[in-house]
Amino acid sequence: MTKKVKSGYIILAILVVIAIAATVHSLITTKESVTINFDSNVEYNTNSSQKLSSKGNIAALYIEGTIQQANVDYDQQWLLSTISAIKNDKKNVGIAIFVNSPGGAVYQTDDVYLALEDYKTTGRPIYVYQGPMAASGGYYISCAGNKIYANRNTLTGSIGVIAGQSMDLTGLLNKLGIKSETIYAGKNKNMGNYNAPFTPEQKAIMQSIADECYEQFVKIVAKSRNMTYEEAAKLSDGRIYTAQQALDNGLIDAIGSWDLMLDDMADAEFEGTNYKIVTYKKVKKQSFMDIMMSKVSDITKSAAASKTGIPEKVLEDINSPSEYPMYLYK
**137 and 266 together in one domain:** yes
pLDDT for residue 181: 76
Residue 176 lies in a domain: no
Statement: residue 320 has pLDDT above 50: yes
**146 and 27 together in one domain:** no
Through-space distance between the first and last CA atoms of the chain, rounded to whole angstroms = 47
**258 and 294 together in one domain:** no
Which is more confidently placed, 4 or 162? Answer: 162
Average pLDDT value for residue range 302-315: 62
Residue 180 lies in a domain: no
Residue 226 lies in a domain: no
Residue from 141, 138, 95 nearest 120 by CA: 95
pLDDT for residue 22: 45
Residue 3 lies in a domain: yes
Under 8 Å CB-to-CB from 260, ≥6 apart: which residues? Answer: 149, 254
**136 and 82 together in one domain:** yes
Residue 310 lies in a domain: yes
Q: Which of 41-45, 109-113, 139-143, 235-239 has the lowest mean pLDDT?
A: 41-45
Residue 144 lies in a domain: yes
Residue from 82, 86, 137, 81 nearest 113 by CA: 137
List the beta strands (DSSP E) in the chain: 43-44, 57-64, 92-101, 103-105, 126-135, 147-150, 155-157, 240-242, 254-255, 275-280, 326-328
Give residue 148's domain range.
Answer: 34-160+237-285
Task: Please state the domain count of the chain.
Answer: 2
**20 and 112 together in one domain:** no
**27 and 127 together in one domain:** no
Average pLDDT, the chain: 80
CATH of the domain at 68: 3.90.226.10
Q: Which of 81-85, 89-93, 163-167, 259-263 has the lowest mean pLDDT?
A: 163-167
Catalytic residues, which ones?
A: 136, 189
Residue 60 lies in a domain: yes
Per-residue pLDDT tens over the stretch 234-254: 999 999 999 999 999 999 999
**Which pTM was predicted?**
0.76
Per-residue pLDDT tens over the stretch 14-68: 544 444 444 444 333 333 323 343 333 333 333 333 233 446 899 999 999 999 9
**24 and 110 together in one domain:** no
Residue 8 lies in a domain: yes
Statement: residue 5 has pLDDT above 50: no
**82 and 108 together in one domain:** yes
Residue from 154, 56, 158, 151 nearest 103 by CA: 158
Q: Which of 12-16, 133-137, 220-224, 290-294 has the lowest mean pLDDT?
A: 12-16
**298 and 255 together in one domain:** no
**144 and 67 together in one domain:** yes
Beta bridge partners of 148: 128
**255 and 313 together in one domain:** no
**2 and 122 together in one domain:** no
